[in-house]
Amino acid sequence: MEVGDVVEFETGDRHLLAVLTRELGQKWIVVTEGGDEMRPAPDDVTFELGQSLDASGSQRALTHSLQKIRERIDKAAAEIDVSFLWEFVDAGEAVSAGMLAELFFESSEPIEVLAVLQKLRDDAVFFKSGHDGWEPRGPDQVEELKRQREAKEKRRRQRQAFIDGVVEVLEAESSERAEMIDQRMADPEFRSHMTTLQGYAIHGNRFGDSDDASDLLESIEESADTQIDGGSDTKAFNLMVDLGIWDTHENLWVHRYNLDGEPDKETQAEANQVAEADWEPEDWRSDMTDRLCVSIDDASTRDIDDALSCRRLPDGGWEVGIHVADPDAFVQKDSRLDRHARRRATSVYLPERTINMFPPEVSEKAASLVAGSRRPAITTLAEFDEDFEIVDWSIQPTVVDVDHRLTYEEVDALLDDEESDLDDDVGQMLRDLATIAEEHRASREEKGAVSIDLPEPKFDITWEDGEPNVELNVRRDESKANELVSEFMIMAGYLAGRLAWLKDIPILFRSQDAPEGEVRDERVEEAPDGLPTDFALLRKMKPGNMSTEPNEHFGLGLPVYTQATSPIRRYADLVCQRQIKAWLTDRPLPYDGSELVEVLGDVDSNSSEAGRAQGGSARYWTLEYLRQHKDDGPFEAEVIEHYNDDGTKAAVWVHAIASKETCRFRTAVPVGEEAKVEVNRVDPRGNQLSLKQA
């Protein structure tokens, strides 16, 4: 090869025409047909055209000459019918591009030969490249490759139709987009591509088809001649918003864990039958409708799964009834409703809505302990002496009738001796319950229980013209009503676990291992009282476990424990309740050991996902609250710990949102002291919050 020669060379997956302009060591400096200067090695040259150009000419002139040659090659290639060549070549006999050019054009000039090479590279159906030239494929292989090519072309057309459809929607008025998308989503192929983009928006780069989704987004931008806001997966989310499929505040956590699936028609029909049927108590239920009975929940709660009663005994002491809803009275094991609940594993409480484990017809109506209605229950009766010690207890299936539905706020007001509309009997019962609960909690703490009660945020989200107004209220620290209910639920869990332990009833137990070393080590002891101590203790605690074997629950200070007080909200509680109820009524146990292990695997995984969805959703709306109210600052905060030696980076507890956050300080504030902080930057969708000292 010499300066001025016109050649074809390979770079990546492309073949380019070029003219050699000068040598550079072992490489050539060339000007390509695209006007670029490149440096291919001699081995990269795939064809010499036998033509020369004046290499001293301008780069523009050289490029123009190469483009003219390319036009001649493309024109010749357009005439070639590869299937015609294939039919005239003997099977198994390799031929050169020159021979095929001679066969088709009756000429083997370089232009014709390069046209044949170009065509063979573009159409790999009939010939395959080998060391000795181009070998014709067998008929069966040709047919299979044709099918593959047609399928690929079909996919290309469908992909382009999707892109064109999306662009058309984007160009329409925003008020028309949702209807247009609904029409297009009837097409399975369109829906499939949209699902790919949604998967990318939901899972980000963890999504298996993220590359395909990214390519789709790029093609949509090119076709629409626009730029979608955001980067990578954020673009996919913003596109869904632009198309009217999602709104700006779409809860991706629900999509991420597939929590929003509605019951199928048969399951919903089963739930409707449950709600419409008249329930009659079985003969083996104890009638406890004569007890003064109250439920205590948030005002917004509709699935009421527990209630309390308390009466003073003639010889002193009290009888406390912990009454838990019995959905098993309506939902048979392995029914459609039961399988639906098992898949869900738990009700999911999001700031903007609730996703019930059971359909509302069961969880909020038939099985819910609605005030003024007879309901089946599993009741734990505990008898206390005047020293608040449990002297007798039992668990039994019952019929209850809740007299009053109370809220935490109402009960707190009464226990704080504020003005209350509750009658004297209810007031006295609540005061007795609070005293017993306080004594029982103190007893557990004496046995090593670690009580950490962090304030909880409660959201109130209202919508106006498609935009949310977020209000966030914090349940005040040490709510007596909350402690009262919590303590009796712990008591019921302990007694249920103890019964199962003593009688060898297989259930799902809850446990927690003791922390390494002393609980109140030097770091805990040095932390100021209050929140710094609470968080120092939290770091010491080990995670809880659920298993088929009883074990100590360190945090609760109990030798054995289970959860059986929320069977319409947690499937594991329902399983435990079913086992104990069957034992109490001398019926076969619904679950053997192997079935319990299967249930454990299902509910443990699904409950964890639901927990992450609840936490992630609460985080989003917390940041959205701060976005809406950042100008209401500065906000009061307590310094929890310092992250660096000079204390300019610290963890703070922001009281207004009941959340531990990181804050930058100009001057250090001692741990345990109050500080004022303000929002520097907040991005709810990106889960980013920057606080600074006010």
Summarize pLDDT for 83-136 with one digit per residue, the tens.
999 988 887 788 999 999 999 998 889 999 999 999 999 988 999 988 888 999
pLDDT at 564 over 90: yes
Tokens 């019929």 belong to residue: 399
Q: Which of 686, 639, 627 has the alpha carbon at shortest distance from 665?
A: 639
At residue 260, the pLDDT reads 78
Helix 139-171 with 188-203: angle, nearest 10 deg: 70
At residue 476, the pLDDT reads 64
pLDDT at 585 over 90: yes
Tokens 């609070």 belong to residue: 434
pLDDT at 487 over 70: yes
Summarize pLDDT for 530-550 with one digit per residue, the tens.
999 999 999 999 999 999 999
The separation between CA 304 and the C-alpha centre of its own chain, rounded to angstroms, equals 26
Q: What's the one-letter identity of residue 29?
A: I
Summarize pLDDT for 255-302 with one digit per residue, the tens.
999 997 789 999 999 999 999 999 999 999 999 999 999 999 999 899
Average the pLDDT over 343-352 and give the result. Answer: 94
Q: What's the one-letter identity of residue 691?
A: L
CB contact at 8 A, 369 and 404:
no
At residue 478, the pLDDT reads 67
Task: Give the CA distances from residue 608 to residues 463, 467, 541, 604, 611, in Å, rounded to whole numbers and listed in that order.
Answer: 30, 30, 18, 6, 5
At residue 315, the pLDDT reads 86
At residue 17, the pLDDT reads 95
pLDDT at 442 over 60: yes
Mean pLDDT for the chain? Answer: 93
Summarize pLDDT for 402-416 with one digit per residue, the tens.
999 999 999 999 998
At residue 475, the pLDDT reads 73
Task: Give the CA distances from residue 185 to residues 179, 193, 213, 244, 259, in Å, rounded to whole numbers and listed in that order.
Answer: 10, 10, 17, 13, 21
Average the pLDDT over 369-382 and give the result. Answer: 97
The whole-model pTM stands at: 0.81
pLDDT at 224 over 90: yes
At residue 107, the pLDDT reads 87
Q: Token pair for residue 78?
A: 């357009």
All domains of the chain, ordered by start, with CATH?
Answer: 5-140 (no CATH), 163-246 (no CATH), 265-618 (no CATH), 633-693 (2.40.50.140)
At residue 477, the pLDDT reads 56
What is the Cα–Cα distance from 444 to 561, expressed in whole angstroms? Answer: 13
What is the Cα–Cα distance from 71 to 48, expressed in whole angstroms? Answer: 17
Task: Give the CA distances from residue 581 to residues 54, 395, 576, 586, 623, in Å, rounded to whole numbers and listed in that order.
Answer: 98, 9, 9, 9, 44
Average the pLDDT over 610-630 and give the result. Answer: 96
Q: What's the one-letter identity of residue 279?
A: W
What is the Cα–Cα distance from 667 to 647, expressed in whole angstroms? Answer: 7
At residue 13, the pLDDT reads 85
